[in-house]
Structure 1
Amino acid sequence: MRRFFTAQNFPFILAAVFAIFFALMAINPVSREVWIAEVIPVAAIFLLLCITFPFFRFSNVSYGLMAVWLFWHTIGGHYTFAGVPFEWVTDLFGFERNHFDRIGHFSVGFYAYPIAELFISRKIAGPIVTTLFALFTIMSVAAAYEIIEWQYAVIQGGEAGIEFLGSQGDVWDAQKDMLADTLGAVFVLVLFWIFGKRWGSRG
């Protein structure tokens, strides 16, 4: 058993844990409509990583960082992001809203790390282009997702549309979400260039 829990098997263990977690979070969500809308990108990313694994294996650090968003977003889909029981953080810092979604957006930025890792490992571009491409990719995805949220809320309407949008009455919610995505990307890119070689992430 100990031989199974090795660094080499980390992606398989992580995938198995996530699959079980995903199945559990699919049981009796607060809103089935919101759950379906929220888990579509989660399932798409997870399946994409599984399909591409034989062709390119990211470092364990990359898989760990990408898993943060997968788990976080799955929880948000189960409870709806505004309804996640996160009061202890809200009360601890005196926030006026549930910031579970903000942390989720920050973790979206973590995907800049594997993007940079792929570019450097495959020698697709140099450090500057790699960094800018990874950062701008996250910023583009962040903007696109906010547009999708807006359109879903308009088309779906009702309580499901409001819960999926998750603005919690903040008129600047979309801009703050995109900023959180961007800051997450900047954070992991700094980590990549400082610690990437030590963590086995750079060619």
Structure 2
Amino acid sequence: MRLTVTSDNFPLVLGGVFALFFGLLAINPVSRDVWIAEVIPVAFVFLLLAATYHRFRFSNVAYGLMAVWLFWHTIGGHFTFANVPFGWFSELIGAERNHFDRIGHFSVGFYAYAIAELLIRRKLAGPIVTTLFGLFFIMSIAAGYEIIEWWYAVAEGGNAGVEFLGSQGDIWDAQKDMLADTLGAIFSLVLFWWGGKRWGSR
């Protein structure tokens, strides 16, 4: 039996693919301790989206954007972010640091699209408040996550703490991560207002 992906079943198919992907990458990760810490937010977001699917169905664009972070963060959890085989990208941009985590933080900002979609479709706020709320929500999550990373690194200590923190020796790593989250949010909000009506988000 051949499965055909349509606009109606896209979120369900995407969810099934991710569940399979998640299960495969749960096998023999580089560090089980780091993997557990990294996949907790992934599992939480995925289960939240699954549980609320029938109460509020986001657009396929929103689900697609949110899936980017789910897949990306799952890969980072398997390898640890600093050790994901991403050297080709570092060579491409002439960087010594592994920027896999920076792209992951940028993709966190994609959730601003779904936030804006929820507020607009539920008529909970106007354009200005929606935009600012989506932006500030992501910025708050970014700052909160950096605090959690710091707390875990101090509490766990050792190699697991260092790998979860993922600073790779950069003292400004937290600030740069939060900037990446913010830029991702700005990008997705621009995308929402530019093409949301065309894609059924508004």
| Length-normalised TM-score, structure 2 | 0.99
Q: Quote the residue 1:84 is aligned against.
A: 84
Q: Quote the residue 1:105 is aligned against.
A: 105
Aligned CA distance change for structure 1 residues 3 and 158 (closer, same or farther; 3 Å)? closer
- Measure how far apart 1:91 and its partner are: 1.0
Q: Quote the residue 1:142 is aligned against.
A: 142
Q: Quote the residue 2:9 is aligned against.
A: 9
User: Matched residues in 2 for 1:3 and 1:148: separation?
Assistant: 41
Which structure 1 segments of 5+ residues have no match? Answer: none
Q: Which amino acid aligns with 1:64?
A: G
User: Matched residues in 1 for 2:113 and 2:137: separation?
Assistant: 11
Quote the sequence identity (%): 77
User: Matched residues in 2 for 1:72 and 1:5: separation?
Assistant: 22
User: Matched residues in 2 for 1:134 and 1:87: separation?
Assistant: 33
User: Stretches of 4+ moved more than 6 A in 1?
Assistant: none
Measured against aligned partners, the alpha-carbon deviations of 1:116-140 in whole angstroms (never above 9, x if no partner) come to: 0000000000000000000000000
- Measure how far apart 1:92 and its partner are: 1.3
User: Matched residues in 1 for 2:69 and 2:187: separation?
Assistant: 15
Q: Quote the residue 2:167 is aligned against.
A: 167
- Measure how far apart 1:4 and its partner are: 3.6
| Length-normalised TM-score, structure 1 | 0.98
Q: Quote the residue 2:153 is aligned against.
A: 153
- Measure how far apart 1:93 and its partner are: 1.3
Which structure 2 segments of 5+ residues have no match? Answer: none
How many correspondences in the alignment? 202
User: Matched residues in 2 for 1:92 and 1:155: separation?
Assistant: 36
Measured against aligned partners, the alpha-carbon deviations of 1:3-46 in whole angstroms (never above 9, x if no partner) come to: 74211000000000000000000000000000000000000000
Give the RMSD, CA atoms, in angstroms. 0.9
Aligned residue for 2:6, secondary structure, equals: coil
User: Matched residues in 1 for 2:92 and 2:185: separation?
Assistant: 26
Q: Which amino acid aligns with 2:12?
A: F
Q: Which amino acid aligns with 2:178?
A: M
User: Matched residues in 1 for 2:113 and 2:174: separation?
Assistant: 23
Q: Which aligned pairs between 1:1-203 and structure 2 lie closer than 5 A?
A: 4-202=4-202
Q: Which amino acid aligns with 1:87?
A: G
User: Matched residues in 2 for 1:167 and 1:3: separation?
Assistant: 42
